[in-house]
Amino acid sequence: MNKNYYAIIMAGGVGSRFWPVSTTEFPKQFHDMLGTGETLIQKTFTRLSQIIPKENILILTNEVYNDIVLEQLPMIQQEQIVLEPAMRNTAPCILYASLKIKKQNPDAVMVVAPSDHWIEDELQFCSNLQYAFDFCERDENLMTLGILPTFANTGYGYIEFDKLDSRPIKKVKQFREKPDYATARKFIQSRNFLWNAGIFVWSAKTVLKAYEEFQPVMYDHFMNGYEALNTPKEEAFIRDNYPLAQNISVDYAILEKAQNVYVLPATFDWNDLGTWGSLYDKLPKDEQENAVVNASVYLENATNNIIRTEGKKLVVIDGLTDYIIVDKDDVLLIYPKNKEQDIKQIVSKIQ
Instruction: Split the chain (351 residues) into runs of 10 and give each run's mean pLDDT.
Output: 95 86 90 87 96 97 94 96 92 96 97 93 94 95 93 88 88 90 91 92 97 97 96 95 95 93 93 87 93 92 94 91 93 92 84 67
The pLDDT, as a whole number, for residue 334 is 95
**Using CA atoms, how far apart are residues 338 and 170, in angstroms rounded to an integer?**
35
CB 181 within 8 A of CB 152: yes
pLDDT at site 351:
67
Give CA separation, 140 vs 14, 70, 169, in Å.
34, 34, 14
pLDDT of residue 1: 84
Separation CA 314–CA 292 (nearest Å) = 11
Query: Is residue 4 within 8 Å of 132, Cβ to Cβ?
Result: no
Helix segments in the chain, DSSP class H? 40-48, 66-72, 90-104, 122-138, 181-190, 204-214, 216-223, 234-241, 250, 276-282, 343-350
The span from the CA of 193 to the CA of 187, in Å, is: 6
- SS3 helix, strand, coil % of the chain, rounded to 5? 40, 25, 35
Whether a cis peptide bond, with omega within 30° of 0, leads into 20 is yes
Q: Name the burial class of residue 74, with classes exposed (0-12), middle (13-18) and buried (19+) by CB atoms within 10 angstroms of its CB.
A: exposed
Backbone φ, ψ for residue 202 (5° rounding): -170, 165
Residue whose C-alpha is closest to residue 243's, from 92, 33, 104: 92
Give the model's pLDDT for residue 84.
Answer: 93
Angle at which helices 204-214 and 216-223 cross, to 10°:
120
Assign 196 to helix, strand or coil. Answer: strand
> C-alpha angle 33/316/333, rounded to 5°?
50
